[in-house]
Amino acid sequence: MPSNKIAVLIVSGALAGGMVAAGCGSDDDPESTTTAATTSTRAEETAAASGGGAAESTDAIEIADFKYDPETVTVKAGTEVIWTNSDDAPHTATADDSSFDTGDLDQGDSQSVTLDQPGTFSYYCRFHPFMKATIEVR
C-alpha cells in the first residue's frame, strides 16, 4: 500500500512540474502580455506627464576628459538632450535648480532629458563639481 501512495505522489509531482514548465516562456502567457502592455502604458504616462509625446528634436552632449562637450548648448523647447559618458569615471548631469538629473552614468552609459520650459539651466557633475555647463532653452 505505501508504495502505491509513493507512486501516485511521484506521478502527481511530475505532472505539476510539467504544467509549471509549460507555463514558463510561453508566448501566449497572459501575464507576460499584461506586463508588456503595462510597461508601454507607463512609458506613455511618463511622456504625457513631461509635456506629451516625443521630443521635437535631439541634441547630444558628450562627457569626455572631465568636461561636457559642448559646454554651452542652445535648444528649442521640447528638445531631448542626451548625455553620453565616454570617460572611465562615472558622471552625472545634475541641474543646479534640481529640475533634472541624469543619475549616475558609467562609461558608455547615456541618459536623456526633454526640456520643455524656456530658460537657462546650469548643471554640474555630482561626482566632480568643477564640471559645469549650461543649456539655454528658447
Claim to verify: residue 64 and residue 116 sit in the same structural domain: yes
Confidence of residue 57 (pLDDT cuts 50, 70, 90): confident
Lowest mean pLDDT, pick from 32-46, 51-65, 67-81, 117-131: 32-46
CATH number at residue 114: 2.60.40.420
**With pLDDT > 70 as the criterion, what percentage of the chain qualifies?**
59
DSSP state of 108: T
More confident residue, 128 or 36: 128
Query: Could you tell me if 39 and 64 lie in one domain?
Result: no
Q: What is the dihedral of CA 38, 105, 100, 128, to 10 degrees?
A: 160
Q: What is the mean pLDDT of residues 88-102?
A: 97
Domain that holds residue 131: 57-137
Grid coordinates given for 44: 506613455
The pLDDT score that the predictor gives to residue 36 is: 22
- Which residues share a beta bridge with 137? 75, 119
Over residues 9-24, the pLDDT tens digits come to 333 344 344 433 344 3
Residues 37 and 63 in one domain: no
This prediction has a pTM of 0.61
The total of structural domains in the chain comes to 2
pLDDT of 6 above 60: no
As beta bridge partners, residue 121 has 135
In sequence order, the 6+-apart residues with CB closer than 8 A to the CB of 135 are: 72, 73, 74, 75, 81, 115, 120, 121, 123
Confidence (pLDDT) at 26:
40
If asked whether residues 63 and 130 sit together in one domain, one would say yes
Looking at the predicted structure, is the pLDDT value of residue 59 above 80? yes
